[in-house]
Structure 1
């Protein structure tokens, strides 16, 4: 069992590590995510000392990375990355509070996950994700990405005037610069007005905080002063919230992949799939339109002659 790391130098900001961990965890409203992140933070507090000043961690990246590698280096890439995400998120919050300078994890990088030949999520798992207890903005984004199969980068660049809410569609700039229509379904349509709350201009998806003075004017909502939500932050939030699922965390891209796979399983034609995905090449579309394991099992069950005979009786 690892011996406790010697207590680091005395406080600089006066914020105890145990208190900082508790305050950060209190900002996480999803119980499963909070429990997952608490596992990493509890180990950090136990090994470095509850009374250690948070500020000192920023000046000890070698010690922190050495400790992290010792504790989780032999674990799977999934566990390693989840713990890294948890601590990285906490450290980011502490920097925002001016309790910490620098990045204690600067020596570490996420590990590549083993190749996944079935990236599409099951319909049940998608439904669970879309029902998650998360802020309204995130629920709208996730519904939109799944229902429209748009790329996250395309959806996040949308401005409110580009929406045609009555026809449940919008024009986005596709990869390569083409302007094309994406369309959504009832899930997005029901949630969208609640998120907009009467806003008529500005970016569709906004950050939780006021924009910095350096942010471009077209990326700021004039009525709230908040900035356009970035892809990096949206991806980070999705991974945080889906880390609690078996097989998680997932990526925003998997929502798009899943929608295309499910549409193919439902019998959508190649032209419809190409329009849905924005691909101009059938070859590029092929990897998304593969039938999932779930779809294969359903096909076999539905086409089983014995099952048809039983239904006939």
Structure 2
């Protein structure tokens, strides 16, 4: 890790953030923390002195940005900022506690990680950009991991047979399939392109971006996981149980397939899992499905319908 100037010279907020994120080994945690800290750098300024952060500035800013968000989002962002400030204090780049006036918000426990069918339908029916609608639909219908979908290139697609070859976790190359919700808008997203990343950023790629992650015809880069996750969160913050994550779309598809009677081999093929033990958590029946099954198998209800 490159050395930073002594505290007397002041530490740039951007440098302090980069250094802190570099200490986090877990990829998903680093991504989640970066979402909050990138916003802090943007609002306070990359060149701002991290030592000037104080409770007045930070609490006012935090409540302005996330004060009206769901408790889940508010608490996730607070955890990220609190962890960063604690690290900066340990480095003696910061004195005091800028988040001392902020408190986590209570939220009702939700043990169901899967979205309901109604929630998925609401998400896929949103007035969102074409790229997001295709991505969410493909992610749900294929039950593939978000990284697998984001790494797709045009050359990997077989649009006629509604499938594509992805690189699974662990390096295996397998075929995923999607349905009509993805197949119909997909040609408009491709827009005649013959090669390059399927899902692209809105802006042209920086010179440092690898050629394999850049589309030659548009000059735009491959959409990142962080940006895709942020967009889904922003679109689902207003939903009653939101915001939702990219992984929840995959989880929901597998849960819904299990509820509809998909066999274990079919679920393993759909998910790309090689172990039944890894699949078990996705086969947990939701409260919605349990209620539907109870109603459909109620003897008294069947007698009344005769």
Query: Normalising to structure 2: TM-score of the pair?
Result: 0.71
Shift of 1:200: 1.0
Q: Is residue 2:56 matched to residue 1:61?
A: no
Assess if the C-alpha contact under 8 Å between 1:149 and 1:257 holds in 2.
yes
Cα 1:80–1:186, aligned 2, differ >3 Å: closer, same or farther? Answer: same
The equivalent residue for 1:293 is 287
Which one of 265, 273, 287 corresponds to residue 259 of structure 2?
Answer: 265
After superposition, where does 1:9-28 map in structure 2 within 5 Å? none
The equivalent residue for 2:85 is none
Which one of 239, 246, 268 corresponds to residue 252 of structure 1?
Answer: 246
Distance 1:56 1:290 in 2: 45
Cα 1:66–1:259, aligned 2, differ >3 Å: closer, same or farther? Answer: same
Q: Is residue 2:143 matched to residue 1:143?
A: no
The equivalent residue for 2:192 is 198
Cα 1:197–1:203, aligned 2, differ >3 Å: closer, same or farther? Answer: same
Which one of 147, 153, 161 corresponds to residue 153 of structure 1?
Answer: 147
Q: Which digits, 9 at most, give the CA deviation of each residue in 1:98-133, with x for residues without a partner?
A: xxxxxxxxx779979886421111101100000011
Q: Say which SS state the counterpart of residue 287 (structure 1) adopts.
A: helix
After superposition, where does 1:60-79 map in structure 2 within 5 Å? 60-62=52-54, 63-68=56-61, 77-78=71-72
Which one of 193, 212, 216 corresponds to residue 218 of structure 1?
Answer: 212
Distance 2:268 2:203 in 1: 37
Q: Is residue 2:165 matched to residue 1:171?
A: yes
Cα 1:55–1:265, aligned 2, differ >3 Å: closer, same or farther? Answer: closer
Shift of 1:83: 7.7
Assess if the C-alpha contact under 8 Å between 1:57 and 1:64 holds in 2.
no
Assess if the C-alpha contact under 8 Å between 1:208 and 1:226 holds in 2.
yes
Q: Say which SS state the counterpart of residue 166 (structure 1) adopts.
A: coil
Shift of 1:78: 2.1
Cα 1:210–1:76, aligned 2, differ >3 Å: closer, same or farther? Answer: closer
Q: Which digits, 9 at most, give the CA deviation of each residue in 1:206-235, with x for residues without a partner?
A: 000000000000100000000000001000
Shift of 1:57: 10
The equivalent residue for 1:35 is none
Shift of 1:67: 3.0
Distance 1:209 1:81 in 2: 31
The equivalent residue for 1:16 is none
The equivalent residue for 1:234 is 228
Assess if the C-alpha contact under 8 Å between 2:70 and 2:243 holds in 1.
no
Q: Say which SS state the counterpart of residue 137 (structure 1) adopts.
A: helix
Distance 2:138 2:298 in 1: 35
Distance 1:156 1:110 in 2: 36
Distance 2:192 2:63 in 1: 52
Q: How many residues align?
A: 240
Which one of 259, 268, 275 corresponds to residue 274 of structure 1?
Answer: 268
Shift of 1:76: 7.3
Shift of 1:64: 2.6
Distance 2:179 2:103 in 1: 35
The equivalent residue for 2:303 is 309
Assess if the C-alpha contact under 8 Å between 2:205 and 2:214 holds in 1.
yes
Query: Normalising to structure 1: TM-score of the pair?
Result: 0.69
